[in-house]
Structure 1
């Protein structure tokens, strides 16, 4: 006989996780129970949660995902910086804090007033929410800004013990009412590509297809590339 409802039953999930059905039910209901990081990891695996939802599960629990290795601050590999520089389309590299740690000339020409400046820190979230020019430069600013926060929450959920993440969020909440509101919604989504439209001050409306990639051996690094499209 076919099941009326697709997916695993509670009993099956509990068995896969190595916990009792009662215990799993309490977790599902949000009761105050003590759950180990390894048990949460087994639940996430059994439910086949996406990367974003898995990160949010651990954020809600206040525990660190045991599958995420401790990251030690280290220089950006020279070959990765060279790769960004040699891409013909606008491209930039984000670290785990969403600071731009490398960008090429096409990106600097596109994001004038931001990536072409000599400031030591170029943070994507700070630019989006705290630079007045961003709201007019990004054609669908309200939707894009809200999604960026959801993507960042999915990312930073993996680094709950990183005090710099906390400092970034607190500073943005203090500096931007829009960020504070979006952060309070607790949305989580994977960072994805898609169409991006910008109103360049001298070149007019520009349309791109954004492609996002992660560096295999440095998973905290994200390569953002913008492929030109006809407007």
Structure 2
């Protein structure tokens, strides 16, 4: 075997090993409850079992096991797409999966947020209270219409930029609503650092930090402090350009016992805030127009319609 062939074989081995480790890490972070599966009493594996991932992705258990074992088997783009959906990979993770597999992504702009229809319906029913679903990296996975106009025109923000940390440092509309911006960005960066402790080697987390580091001198200065704050609920005051000051109490509801995505809602702290939220909701309804269709479910079939008031779009 030539030197080039040896190098190619070695690279292939490394890719398969990295792919296997990546799949295991993604599988172990998902609680059964997040995908509608029972936990049971004898679950020893953190997160999902291999057969459960195979079931969600509609692939053979043996085949998926071989893939996690790093065996030299052919991986089609269609199967990788199904696995990405089953594991609820976000856009960065999906790109990483296809890169490790050496395959071309048939839907490079897609994202499998895993936000169930029941949670989307809840977002709509909470209006005029602004609410969204975020993951632990502060990506905004879904949101209702009031939230879409709370800090900026979120519908106009590219999907890849819908991240609270990114918007706090780079979006002027978002930043202008923060009455104590210095404290807000300092706290946000400290919370992100605390959350990142369990994800230090994961490409999407490192990519976001690098992107912020390149884009914002302010982020570089704050990040260099190495401050850490645990997530918590508190009263915040937003300065909205059209409805005035809003004193809101942020409340987080985690959607699984494993610290998966959370539902974040801002309830009014006083009657004045309640009245102004009603005005904000009216503005959002007037400006948003027809709601986008609900995204497809994991199997690719159309999801049930969401009752009015409908959700704002959270997809490209």
| 1:139 matches 2:179 | yes
Q: Which has the higher helix share?
A: 2
Query: Contact 2:169/2:218 (CA < 8 Å) preserved in 1?
Result: yes
Deviation at 1:124, TM superposition (A): 0.6
Distance in 2 of aligned mates of 1:213 and 1:188: 21
TM (norm. structure 1) is 0.65
Corresponding position of 1:78: 117
Q: Deviations over 1:31-64 (max 9, x none)?
A: xxxxxxxxxxxxxxxxxxxxxxxxxxxxxxxxxx
Distance in 1 of aligned mates of 2:179 and 2:157: 25
Corresponding position of 2:291: none
Distance in 1 of aligned mates of 2:258 and 2:123: 15
Q: How does 1:1-231 map to 2 (within 5 A)?
A: 72=87, 73=89, 75-88=114-127, 89-113=129-153, 115-117=154-156, 119-121=158-160, 122-216=162-256, 219-230=259-270
Query: Contact 2:134/2:263 (CA < 8 Å) preserved in 1?
Result: yes
Deviation at 1:135, TM superposition (A): 2.8
Query: Contact 2:130/2:145 (CA < 8 Å) preserved in 1?
Result: yes
SS of the residue 2:261 aligns to: strand
Q: Which runs of 5+ in 1 are unaligned?
A: 1-66
Q: Structure 1 150/220 Cα, relative in aligned 2: closer, same or farther at 3 Å?
A: same
Deviation at 1:111, TM superposition (A): 2.6
Deviation at 1:201, TM superposition (A): 1.0
TM (norm. structure 2) is 0.48
Distance in 1 of aligned mates of 2:181 and 2:150: 16
Query: How well do the aligned residues superpose, as a CA RMSD in angstroms?
Result: 2.3
Deviation at 1:171, TM superposition (A): 0.7
Deviation at 1:161, TM superposition (A): 2.3
Distance in 2 of aligned mates of 1:186 and 1:68: 30
Q: Which has the higher strand share?
A: 1
Distance in 2 of aligned mates of 1:170 and 1:86: 37
User: How many residues in Structure 1 have an aligned counterpart in Structure 2?
Assistant: 164
Q: Deviations over 1:6-50 (max 9, x none)?
A: xxxxxxxxxxxxxxxxxxxxxxxxxxxxxxxxxxxxxxxxxxxxx
Q: Which runs of 5+ in 2 are unaligned?
A: 1-44, 49-85, 90-111, 273-316
Query: Contact 1:134/1:141 (CA < 8 Å) preserved in 2?
Result: no
Query: Contact 2:151/2:173 (CA < 8 Å) preserved in 1?
Result: no
